[in-house]
Chain A
Amino acid sequence: MGSITTRMGDGYTVTLTTDEVRRDLSEGSEDAARRGKIPALDEREIDYLFDLFDSPRRIVGVQRGHEAILSKDGCGNTLYSAQLSSGVGLPLSREQAIRTFERAFGFDTFELGHTDYTFKQVKPIVALEQTTMESVLLTTIVPLFYGAMPNLGLYAQPDGPFPNPSELLPEGKVDEARQAQEVAAEACRRDIVWMGEKMAETGADGFNLDTTAAAGDAEFLAALQATEELAAKTDLAVEMGMAAEVVLGFHGQLEYKGVRLAGLWPHQQVKLAEQAGVAIFGPVVNTNTRKSTPWNVARASTFVKACSEAASIPIHANVGMGVGGVPMFEVPPPDAVTQASVALVEIGKADGL
């Protein structure tokens, strides 16, 4: 029986038999199908993924002509930031980093964002963000987003003005915890819209809501409502990247256009994003570090395929560290990264990454 050298979800090398790889591919896909109530990959798709992992090559790529569009969160922080962003600490300004991604790395789009990547945090320095955006727009050609996170957690005490639901819930104060999330979400919505309008004034092409719903259903609601307002008031193309594969029901009762937000999976999230006016949706599928990369990639491909089939707008699947089948490791191995990249475009039918 043959063997295949691949990786675990934490990036470390593991050697599996060919039967074990096939089993992991099937089980990963079936796990997604069971949780999301979506179709599992068919035999032809599993065969494709098996061939991908059976390749001894260090790097793989999509078929010529199947290339997809790249967008990126976090600005160029991977170049100039510290380990908190897997950054390599180069002495570059944001403008230099953006132009490096455009002219040296061949990125199709890019974004401006602050290192403290949260709408609430960048409001006091909006003039800096606007003038930097205006400057970068003069010197670059690719479409430019302004990006940040809704980050609802920062609206709760001690970081923000509202009672902290994480403290109220253990005390059994469910109604108070829900009310705290509702008022925080309204403040978050206002901040996102305010920043969006400021960026629309600069002539930015788009606005990226990154790691949406990290704090659960209330944050998702704030992001959807903010998008609806920005789509109506501005020319900004809103990209909405999610934080996790399922929307956590931290509140549990919130709805958008009659749909309960808690517990939604990517193929359900995208339908609400479309209704809100989102132009590009970024589904997330979490990587399980205790499972193999074939298991994780098959699982991610299954979720992304269902999302792509449900969508009428472009899908840019998240493929950073620890999502989209990519191992959870800050120096990710290109073999596993490129395998995930190919799988989500060729099998997941993502329009971009």
Chain B
Amino acid sequence: MGDPLGMSLSHALASGMGGIRTAGDLVARMQLRKMRLAEAKEYVAGKLKVAVGDLADSTVMRELRAELDIGVITAVPGCAKGIDAKARIAELLGVEIPCVSKLAERVARRPG
């Protein structure tokens, strides 16, 4: 509760990792698997082969996300988007993303 600038954006700037501007979504995926913040950051940094301190650095992560093709914050033609990016993220992090698995099952079931 609270207007978007006063509440959501204030927290995002004060404390947030930055979502797909950085590696926030990737660290969050490991928290879904019950990893605490420090452990989740270490895990993701290891998979990305970067320092933990780079994970919330948009100048590092913008380039790296493009290189890995896991979705970037700006609208770039040809870059993976939506579930396409999540399929690569599942592979990169070595985790199952349910909607990606469901899509793969549906595609596999199609005749021909």
Contact = CB atoms under 8 A, between A and B. Distances in A.
A109 B97 CA distance: 14
B50 to A, nearest CB: 12
Given A279-B33, A353-B11, A69 B27 contact: yes
Interface in B62-112: 70-71, 73, 81-83, 85-86, 89, 96-103
A68 B28 contact: no
Interface in B33-69: 33-37, 40, 52-53, 55-56
Nearest to B98: A203
A288 interface: no
Given A141-B71, A203-B102, A337-B6, A102 B1 contact: no
Nearest to B82: A139
A62 B15 contact: yes
Contacts of B37: 68-69, 314, 351-352
Contact of A237 (B12, B33, B83, B85): B33
B interface SS class: helix
B81 A78 contact: no
B99 A338 contact: no
A100 B20 CA distance: 12
Contacts, number: 212
A205 B29 CA distance: 9
B27 to A, nearest CB: 6
Contacts of A322: 1
A143 B25 contact: yes
A103 to B, nearest CB: 6
A60 B97 CA distance: 35
Given A88-B4, A320-B1, A337-B6, A107 B12 contact: yes
Contact of B2 (A68, A140, A237, A320): A320
Interface size for chain B: under 10, 10 to 19, 20 to 34, or 35 or more residues?
35 or more
Contacts of A338: 10-11, 13-14
B33 A59 contact: no
A88 B17 CA distance: 25
B16 A107 contact: yes
Given A321-B2, A333-B6, A337-B10, A108 B34 contact: no
Contact of B10 (A88, A204, A332): A332
B57 to A, nearest CB: 8
B28 A78 contact: no
Contacts of A62: 14-15
Contact of A321 (B1, B85, B86, B102): B1
28 contacts: A61-B15, A64-B53, A64-B56, A67-B16, A68-B37, A74-B1, A102-B20, A106-B16, A106-B22, A107-B19, A108-B18, A108-B19, A108-B27, A139-B83, A142-B19, A200-B98, A203-B98, A203-B101, A204-B99, A279-B33, A279-B34, A314-B34, A314-B40, A320-B1, A332-B2, A337-B14, A338-B10, A342-B14
Given A106-B12, A109-B25, A204-B99, 8 more contacts: A67-B18, A141-B20, A141-B25, A142-B19, A314-B37, A320-B7, A326-B7, A338-B11
